[in-house]
Amino acid sequence: MTDVSAPGAPWWRSAVIYQVYLRSFADGSGDGVGDLAGLRSRLDHLDTLGVDALWITPWYPSPMRDGGYDVVDHRGIHPVFGTLDEARRLIDEIHGRGLRIVIDIVANHTSSEHPWFRAALASAPGSPEREYYHFRDGAGPGGDLPPNDWISAFGGSAWTRVPDPGAVTGGQWYLHLFSTAQPDLNWDHPDVRAYFESVLRFWFDLGVDGLRVDAAPGLAKRPGLPDHGFAAGDAFAPTAWESSPLWDVDAVHDIYRTWRAICDGYPGDRMFVGEVPVNGADRLARYLRAGEFHTAFNLDFIKVPWRASAMHAVVDETLTALGRVGAPATWVLSSHDEPRHVTRYGRRQPPGPRSTRPEPGPTDRELGLRRARAAVLLMLALPGGAYLYQGEELGLEDVEDLPPEVRDDPIHASGASAVPARDACRVPLPWSGAAPPFGFTAGPGRPWLPQPARWADRTVAAQDGDPGSVLALYRAALDLRHRLVPLAGDTFGWRLVTDGALAFGRGHHWECLVNLGGDPVPLGGEVMLSSGPLVPGAVPADTAVWVTPY
Ligand code: GLC
């Protein structure tokens, strides 16, 4: 497979990377949970799709209290997913196909069942074991109140109180910016730093091409852990915070400079992609300065409403801010954390420039799908790299009517978070057949989240060979992109910006025109690819085209 990049540019500057949410991709063992055997058996799908790399969500031993983002052993594979030997074989097979592999690194916190945390709980306040985490005495009489006002991303206080060893009540509090099962590590401790440096080396030695850094702005905390100044009922909204003591603290950059130096010691263009939800493109760009991450997800783009002005602003801000530090943009429409974009775009669009969640109300799936088809042509024509989330190539929407008893997301369990539970976007993929489990599992086990019967026409098998399918659109777009990006390089220029439509050019050969719900827009070139039916000489609402300009 040829690299999609300007001649000589490293692969990650323009790669299209497919996110594999392992539990829900394909199940080879037959227990109803996706695994490495399932993934290995379905690599043909990714090859045919035409992506450049895979990002695999955490595959480590874990009690799975947060879908595997609660890690017990950072150098192992969870038995439900397979073995380390299988992971080695998978890495070789991916490379054998000319693809690359990125894995998750979760360093803000461990699982509460990590040996370090167990030892900390079994040790007295003030002991060296407790220094690996943030343990503090409580405030108020008897230490009954949390040590400060910090809140958790999953709702409620970021502190939980634990009894001292041998006691039943009382005791210190520990910090967890996510669920109670994910205690935050103390990154001022040299052992914590050394441990993760060895973890990075372990996976780079095994041949992974990149690491996705989870919750990247969280690792460093302001010394003394002062109050943030939250008011009762405030939500965890780091994209709105300025100068917070718990997030995006400047000291975090020292950690990533050390990591980058380790990465640069390996041959073959290894890379980091950061999950960096911070306040604006300029703060994001700080993580992409020379000597830090190579790329970071564009988490503004994943939240932008389907409106020309908002879309225009986010693209402009991103390219301007990242251009200043010489970093490529990395676009993303859906992930395992956010509502799928068919659902997002099928709702009433929020008024502001960004929205952390879809507006309440019914989803118009037809409309959402038409916009989603246009959106992927928009995204894949932008300069930089892009991430696809498994199932978007099938046009899947969120499964919003999952019965409460099957829901697994700790956000759901806490009930206190403003973020919608994420199970809806994590339902196992439909591969073939007319009824659930749609070829997802090879055995008697039922998919760990139930698939809706209506997915019968969304399976890979049902769409394969249908030129009008979403799958056909993705394949055609990725194929064309492979040919166009080397010609276009990093070039970009707006050609049309109106209330209803956007058009931009990528060199002399490629222009993308998107109608985001306005009147039909006249075509300015010869159509190479269209997201939907055109009207004579024009592009109708909620449709995008790639053209060769006249
Ligand atoms: C990231 C992950 C998310 C996880 C959280 C805590 O945001 O993408 O799934 O819950 O970090 O690790």
Is-catalytic flag, 275?
Answer: yes
Residue spans of the chain under pLDDT 70: 1-7, 356-357, 413-420
**From the CB of 387, is ligand 1 less than 6 Å away?**
no
Query: What per-residue confidence (pLDDT) applies to 415?
Result: 60
**What separation in Å is there between the alpha carbon of 69 and the centre of ligand 1?**
6
Query: What per-residue confidence (pLDDT) applies to 351?
Result: 86
Atom of ligand 1 nearest to the CA of 108: 12
**From the CB of 214, is ligand 1 less than 6 Å away?**
yes
Query: What per-residue confidence (pLDDT) applies to 232?
Result: 87
Beta carbons within 8 Å of 108's beta carbon, 6+ residues apart? 177, 178, 182, 184, 185, 214, 215, 218, 219
Q: Quick one: how far is CA 251 from the chain centroid? A: 24
Q: How far apart are CA 42 and CA 397, in angstroms?
A: 21
User: Phi and psi at residue 128, in whole multiples of 5°?
Assistant: -60, -30
Contact 363, 400 (CB under 8 A): yes
Q: How far apart are CA 133 and CA 246, in angstroms?
A: 14
Q: What Cα–Cα distance (Å) separates residue 109 from each residue in 113, 332, 406?
A: 11, 25, 26
Contact 389, 338 (CB under 8 A): no
Q: Is 438 helix (H, G, I), strand (E, B) or coil?
A: coil
**What separation in Å is there between the alpha carbon of 337 and the centre of ligand 1?**
7
**From the CB of 409, is ligand 1 less than 6 Å away?**
no
User: Of 86, 184, 248, 275, which one is the catalytic site residue?
Assistant: 275
Q: Is 110 helix (H, G, I), strand (E, B) or coil?
A: coil
**What separation in Å is there between the alpha carbon of 23 and the centre of ligand 1?**
15
Q: Quick one: how far is CA 308 from the chain centroid? A: 24
**What separation in Å is there between the alpha carbon of 153 and the centre of ligand 1?**
9
User: Of 35, 52, 66, 214, which one is the catalytic site residue?
Assistant: 214
59 backbone φψ class: left, alpha, beta (φ>0; ψ -120 to 50): alpha
**What separation in Å is there between the alpha carbon of 516 and the centre of ligand 1?**
31
Contact 18, 390 (CB under 8 A): yes
**From the CB of 399, is ligand 1 less than 6 Å away?**
no
Query: What per-residue confidence (pLDDT) applies to 416?
Result: 52
Q: How far apart are CA 100 and CA 117, in angstroms?
A: 34
Report DSSP letters for 369-394, one per residue. HHHHHHHHHHHHHSSSEEEEETTGGG
Helix (H) or strand (E) holding 460: helix 460-463
**From the CB of 104, is ligand 1 less than 6 Å away?**
no
Dump pLDDT digits (tens) for 9-36.
999 999 999 999 999 999 999 999 999 9
**From the CB of 69, is ligand 1 less than 6 Å away?**
yes
**Looking at ligand 1, which residue's alpha carbon is closest to its atom 7?**
215
Query: What per-residue confidence (pLDDT) applies to 333?
Result: 98
Q: How far apart are CA 38 and CA 440, in angstroms?
A: 8
Burial of 242 (0-12, 13-18, 19+ CB in 10 A): exposed
**What separation in Å is there between the alpha carbon of 68 and the centre of ligand 1?**
9
Place of tokens 């439909």: 430
Atom of ligand 1 nearest to the CA of 69: 12
Radius of gyration of the chain (CA): 23
Mutate to test the pocket of ligand 1, among 62, 66, 426 (most ligand atoms within 8 A of CB): 66
Torsion of CA 390, 392, 397, 403, to 10 degrees: 0
Question: Sign of torsion, CA 116 120 126 127?
Answer: negative
Query: How does DSSP classify residue 249?
Result: -
**From the CB of 408, is ligand 1 less than 6 Å away?**
no
Atom of ligand 1 nearest to the CA of 335: 8
Bond before 520 cis per omega within 30 degrees:
no
Is-catalytic flag, 31?
Answer: no
**What separation in Å is there between the alpha carbon of 335 and the centre of ligand 1?**
11
Scored b (16 or more CB within 10 A) or e, 331-345 reads bbbbbbbbbbbbbbb
Side-by-side strand order, sheet with 210-213: 295-296, 271-274, 210-213, 100-105, 53-56, 16-20, 385-389, 330-332
Q: Is 4 helix (H, G, I), strand (E, B) or coil?
A: coil
Q: Is 520 helix (H, G, I), strand (E, B) or coil?
A: coil
Place of tokens 């042509």: 377
Burial of 55 (0-12, 13-18, 19+ CB in 10 A): buried
Atom of ligand 1 nearest to the CA of 422: 9
